[in-house]
Chain A
Amino acid sequence: MTSRLDPQPLEWLDRNETYRFTFEGQAYTGFRGDSVTSALLACGQTLLGRSFKYHRPRGALTLANHDVNALMQSADATNIRADVTPLQAGLDLRACNVNGTLVNDRDRFIERLSAFLPVGFYYKTFHKPKRFFPFWERKIREKAGLGSIDTRWTARRQAKSYGFCDLLVIGAGASGMQAALTAADAGLDVVLVDENPRIGGSLDYQLANDADAAPVRERLKTGVEGHANIRVLPSHYAAGWYTDHYVPLSGPTGIIKMRAGAVISATGVMEQPSVFRFNDLPGVMMASGAQRLIARHAIRPGKRAVVLSANGEGYRAALDLLQAGIDVAAVVDLEQGAERGHWASQLAAARIPVIEGHAIYEAQGKGRLERVIVAPFDGHRCNPATAREIPCDLLLMSVGWAPASQLLYQAGARLAYDDTLQQLLPQQLPAGIFACGRLNGAFSLEQRLADGQRAAKDACAHLRGESLQPDLAACRDTRAHSHPWPIIEHPRGKNFIDFDEDLQLKDLVNAAKEGFDNIELIKRFSTIGMGPSQGKHSNMNGIRVLASVIGRSIDETGSTTARPMFHPVPVSDLAGRRFRPERLSALHDRHLGLGAQMMEAGAWLRPEYYGMPDQREPSILREVQAVRTALGLIDVSTLGKIEVMGPDAAKLLDGSYTMRMSTIRTGMTRYALMVDDSGVIVDDGIVGRVAEDRFYVTATTSHSEATYRTLSRHIVEWGLDVRLVNRTGVLAAMNLAGPHARQLLAPLTDIDLAEDAFPYLGMREGQLCGIPVRLIRVGFVGELGYEIHLPVDAAATLWDRLMSAGAEFGIRPFGVEAQRVLRLEKGHIIVGQDTDGLTNPFEAAMAWAVPLKSKPYFVGRPSLALLKARCSRKLIGFRLPKGYSGERPKECHLIIENGEMAGRITSIAYSPSLGQLIGLAMVDLPLAEASLSLSVCVDSGDLIQIEPCALPFYDAEGKRQTADLTEVA
């Protein structure tokens, strides 16, 4: 281990646990607590990846989840961010963006073409001639994109959890910890979140060796971790801000959806690179990146260093290098005679040469840094005439900061450029959003602590409901920590602004000169900030360049709002668990016991048929035949069941349904058809009258909630005196249908079942097997049938009694599929299958259900009055010849007339009762009424002839459901 330092006081390593792993086929070891990058650096592997466009060698840069040129690939994951991914035993990694091997990348040649690949090259070159574009697109796609996906994926689900707090503090650095403590002491329930595995923020790397910081670190960390009102969440990052302070916290075990009363953003600043020729060579890194390597992972990032600085922090970094035993050749300060504080004095005492008023003109080296060219700098450009050369293998850049303001922008904050600090700072924050620390321009430790207290007090006042005028500038620094122009032109370029996309200074200048003078336009044309780091180290310099070229201020140039997520979040975490609640009927266990195949129906599971999957067709046929010739029992508990009570109950139902309900006699039911304002069918069911002021309404399985909602709205809208009770869940229902239905029920009930006493469409209440029930004579399946509504608790008992008592009649349970065949034989429609989102009752051949003459009003009546004369299509019945054995038409197959679409099949099934295929089709008029034969285009493309016919197909007079079936059967 060539680059590992002796134990550092705050290091994350557990040196007792050694992990073996491989990278690019070679074996390495590291410690628990290493990141992949730090473990590789410890072993002397400084080449970590290749850049996206030119496949240039790249190394470590920030160690802050911005090192997007060190992306790695394992067998089952891609774009692994080596700088922050914790090392695990047995990892087998290779570099992502490599053609061949990392060392011998076959795409290195692309760099030599860079002169011919100006910004916008792809947009300008490949769109003409158009017919070649698919070819070029394939070629470009092969080169573009990062990583490869294992297509033999398995579904992985990561459960989400939900959190609540008064105050969410994002960032556990000095100001964030102070803010959390102050707010928690004031009694708030605080959550403190930080993306790093340990709290402390820059206190633990930038100020790791600073004596003044030690007692503050101790006080804050013990205070925060021991406080009853603070929940600390390390290894979680706030991925985005959503309305009303809803913040997803992404961590190793998935997402916590945190609902906060207020949010303090103490997210700090992101160090920005200096732009000079070959500023991307491995060995050139952010000062803070090197400090992270030293303090967290005990890595010596180089042997002989040069520090480029435009602030006090650079001098602090140079001191840290010295302490780590690294030779510091020089500090190069961009400014002449600037006040750099006590760290600069300490460095002077160590006799380290400081070269003021100079910049790095160029970095040099073959594959990694070997020397830098230092030249005088006047704040705008370098004079290379008097340049000097300094050999070094490490160059730290400490030239400025950009606020980690992504979440503030998402929340609608306004930031403005501050000429004192040379940094974008929050100017106006939305209600409940607060900011403190370096993000807010507080740079010294004292300022950061004071700013954390201020933000916490503001947040407390906000949560108490007090109106406040926060003084955001109260604790801000009075001197700059960023240089306004750390950007050095070079005639031969390769001075990179965006390491994600290999954008050079000239690319942005050219884009601006081509007229892309708006930050949003230049972003899309040049792709600056569109790579994996989302501009975290490129946007600030990009804005500086654009502002300079177009001659406007930073504020006038504007900045872009980074969308969520702040860092990439695995799709499995976003998806969470499959969360689709399923409702089960009280008879669910009975269905399973009888071998039912279950299907989804709205929110419910219902038996599709009873039998083995390979016996689907014969099972359905047997069930149909049982209903037609003996007895069938179907669970219809999923129907909506609503009690409607009150003096205005009849008025409500008259207004809500097409047909008149106020004229139903007590103890009788009527078909109920509901349409919307435009006259489109939305639901059907039955309405039964229990008493003068009391009705019982059923609705279809999937529309029952909406029907309840509609009825309850009409009560408010029309000012009616009605009460509704939705009993869908507390009542079970089953339909006993078949010629023997009455014979079976008669001995079990106290209700008089005689045809005169309880006619078709009648409704009676009484006892059945000692259970209180409501019986309704229904005809949906076209046989003598009794729908039995009863309390769910008793449903299984009654089901068992009916099944055992019905055995002598050959009773069978039947499922949804058999019911579909049975109702189709009767020509009854299913709303949503035979109708669609535009079907009105005239089209559905239900003009009989629209009493325009006798009813002055119901919802949808004005539309239907207009539509009656404009009916343009109609639902008709059709059949295929008996014994037809050709290709079978399916639902949604199109009716074709003269080569044009003229309709579609909505239902089709084999009718065992008729011995042929029958169906319903929605067909354009006048074809629907005039034609003797229609053509259907089936899957193979053939046209099959179907024969329109009258409805219903079976028992046209309805004798079987209305008469005493002992005779007809």
Chain B
Amino acid sequence: MKLFDCPVIGKRPISEFDYCGEVRRPPLDADETAWADFVFNRNGAPQVLREWWYHRPTGRWYIMERDTLKDEVQRFIDPQEVRYDIPA
């Protein structure tokens, strides 16, 4: 089993984490095609991605920048960098 090297809590077995995909912002004003693309398509090409990782034992979310080709975590992202406002 892989270890996930979290810059905040250190190396933990990856089974403690839920992988929840790329950090994306819903395109709220998009047309139907763009919205459907957001809902149903994911970018699987090897690249550096910002990803959601949920650590179940602590109930904490981490946003990591990960090179998906080398499977290396490069950076822990401050949530302020990815937050967005939802319409009230």
Q: Which residues of A contact B (CB under 8 A)?
A: 242-244, 246, 257, 259, 651, 654-655, 677-678, 705, 708-709, 712-713, 716-719, 724, 726, 856-857, 862-863, 866
Given contacts A719-B80, A862-B28, contact A246 B1 (CB under 8 A): yes
Given contacts A709-B18, A716-B61, A719-B80, contact A655 B39 (CB under 8 A): no
8 contacts between A and B (CB under 8 A): A243-B2, A259-B3, A654-B88, A678-B40, A713-B20, A716-B82, A718-B85, A719-B80
Known contacts A677-B26, A709-B54; A866 and B35 CB within 8 A of each other:
yes
In the complex, the 3 A-B pairs of residues with the closest C-beta atoms, listed nearest first: A719-B83, A857-B87, A856-B87
CB of A716 within 8 A of CB of B83, answer yes
In the assembled complex, which residues on chain A have CB atoms less than 8 Å from the CB atom of B85?
Answer: 718-719
Given A709-B18, A713-B52, are A677 and B39 neighbors across the interface (CB < 8 Å)? yes
A716-B83, A717-B82 given as contacts; is B38 within 8 A of A677 (CB)? yes
Give B57 Cβ to nearest chain A Cβ, in Å: 12
Q: How far is the CB of A364 from chain B (nearest CB, A)?
A: 54
Residue in B3, B61, B63, B80 whose beta carbon sits within 8 Å of that of A712 in the complex: B61
Chain A nearest CB from B12 CB (Å) reads: 11
Report how far A708 CA is from B38 CA in the complex, Å.
Answer: 24
State how many angstroms separate the Cβ of A64 from the closest Cβ of chain B.
30
> In the complex, what residues of A have CB within 8 A of residue B88's CB?
651, 654, 856-857
| Residue in A246, A677, A713 whose beta carbon sits within 8 Å of that of B54 in the complex | A713
Contact A726 B59 (CB under 8 A): yes
Query: Is B84's CB under 8 angstroms from A718's CB?
Result: yes
Q: How far is the CB of B49 from chain A (nearest CB, A)?
A: 16
Query: Could you say which residues of chain A place their CB within 8 Å of the CB of B84?
Result: 717-719
Closest to B18 in A: A709
- Contact partner, B1, options A242, A677, A856, Cβ 8 Å: A242
The closest CB in chain B to the CB of A651 belongs to: B88
Which of B26, B52, B61, B83 contacts A862, CB < 8 Å? B26
Which residues of chain A have C-beta atoms less than 8 A from B40's C-beta?
A: 678
Please, which residues of chain A bring their CB within 8 A of the CB of B80? 719
Is B86 located at the chain interface by the 8 A CB criterion? yes
Minimum distance in angstroms from B71 CB to a CB of chain A: 8
Contact for B3 among A244, A678, A709, CB less than 8 A: A244
Query: Could you list which residues of chain B lie within 8 angstroms of chain A, going by C-beta atoms?
Result: 1-3, 18, 20, 26, 28, 30, 32, 35, 38-40, 52, 54, 56, 59, 61, 63, 79-80, 82-88
A724–B60 Cα distance when bound, in Å, is 11
Q: Which residues of B have CB within 8 Å of A713? A: 20, 52, 54, 61
- CA–CA, A713 and B18, complex, Å: 12
* Extra contacts besides A243-B2, A857-B87 (8): CB < 8 Å: A242-B2, A651-B88, A677-B38, A678-B40, A705-B56, A716-B79, A718-B84, A724-B59
Inter-chain residue pair count (beta carbon < 8 A): 66
* Docked complex Cα distance between A593 and B38 (Å): 53
Whole-angstrom distance between the Cβ of B54 and the nearest chain A Cβ:
6
In the complex, are the beta carbons of B3 and A708 less than 8 A apart?
Answer: no
Chain B residues within an 8 Å CB radius of A705: 56
Which of chain B's residues has its CB closest to A245's CB?
B3
Nearest CB of chain B from residue A836's CB, rounded to whole Å: 17
* B-chain residues with CB within 8 Å of residue A719 when the two chains form the complex: 79-80, 83-85
A259 CA to B87 CA, complexed, in Å: 48
| Chain B residues, Cβ within 8 Å of A244 | 1-3
With contact pairs A713-B20, A716-B61 given, residues A862 and B87 touching in the complex (Cβ less than 8 Å): no
Q: Residues of A contacting B38 with CB < 8 Å?
A: 677
Instruction: Report the Cα distance A717→B86, complex, angstroms.
Output: 10
Residue on A with the closest CB to B40?
A678
Which of A242, A708, A712, A718 sits near B86, CB closer than 8 Å? Answer: A718
Contacts of A651 in B (CB 8 A): 88
- Which residues of B lie under 8 Å from residue A857 when comparing CB positions? 28, 86-88
CB distance from B8 to the nearest CB of A (A): 13
- Given A713-B54, A716-B61, A718-B86: A863 touches B18 (CB 8 Å cut-off): no
User: Of residues A243, A713, A862, A866, which shows the largest number of chain B Cβ atoms within 10 Å of its Cβ?
Assistant: A862
Residues of B within 8 A of A678 (CB): 39-40
Closest to A718 in B: B86
Measured in the bound complex, the distance between the Cα atoms of B23 and A716 in whole Å is 11
CA of A257 to CA of B85, assembled, Å = 46
Shortest CB-to-CB span from B18 to chain A, Å, is: 7
- Determine if B35 and A863 form an interchain contact, defined as CB atoms under 8 angstroms apart: yes
For the complex formed, measure the closest distance between the CB of A456 and the CB atoms of chain B, giving whole angstroms.
23
A719 to B38: give the CA distance in the assembly, Å: 21
Q: Which residue of A lies closest to B71 (CB)?
A: A243
Smallest CB–CB gap between A298 and chain B, Å? 44
A654 surroundings in chain B (CB, below 8 A): 88
User: Interface centre among B35, B40, B80, by most A CB within 10 Å?
Assistant: B35
Is B83 within 8 A of A718, CB to CB?
yes
Interface centre among A654, A677, A708 (most CB of B within 10 A): A677
Could you say which residues of chain B place their CB within 8 Å of the CB of A708?
Answer: 59
Contacts of A709 in B (CB 8 A): 18, 54, 59
Bound Cα distance from A716 to B80, whole angstroms: 8
CB-defined contacts of B39 to chain A, threshold 8 Å: 677-678, 863
Give chain B nearest CB distance to A491 CB in angstroms: 53
- In the complex formed, the residue of B with least CB distance to A257 is B1
Closest residue on chain B to residue A709 by CB atoms: B54
> Min CB distance, B34 to chain A, in Å?
10
| Alpha-carbon distance between A259 and B88 when the two chains are bound, in angstroms | 49
CB contacts (< 8 Å) of A856 on chain B: these are 87-88
- How far in angstroms is the closest Cβ of chain B from A487? 41
For residue A246, which residue of chain B has the nearest CB? Answer: B1
Q: How far is the CB of A710 from chain B (nearest CB, A)?
A: 10
The residue of chain A having its C-beta at the shortest distance from the C-beta of B32 within the complex is A866
Complex: chain A residue closest to B11, CB-CB: A244
The residue in chain B whose Cβ has the minimal distance to the Cβ of A862 is B35
**With the chains together, A680 CA to B69 CA distance in Å?**
32
The CA-CA distance from A857 to B26 in the complex, in Å, is 11
A315 to B22 CA separation, bound complex (whole angstroms)? 63
For the complex, what is the distance from the CA of A866 to the CA of B85, rounded to whole Å? 22
- Measured in the bound complex, the distance between the Cα atoms of B62 and A334 in whole Å is 64
A719 to B26, CA, bound (A): 15
Q: How far is the CB of A762 from chain B (nearest CB, A)?
A: 27
Instruction: Give the nearest-CB partner of A856 in chain B.
Output: B87
Chain A's nearest CB lies how many Å from the CB of B37?
A: 12
Tell me which residues across on chain A come within 8 A of B32, comparing CB atoms. 866
Residues of A within 8 A of B1 (CB): 242-244, 246, 257
Q: Using Cβ atoms and an 8 Å threshold, which residues of chain B touch A717? A: 79, 82-84
Give Cα A234–Cα B18 distance, bound, in whole angstroms. Answer: 37
Q: How far is A243 from B71 in the complex, measured between Cα atoms in Å?
A: 11
* Residue numbers in A under 8 Å from B86 (CB-CB): 655, 718, 857
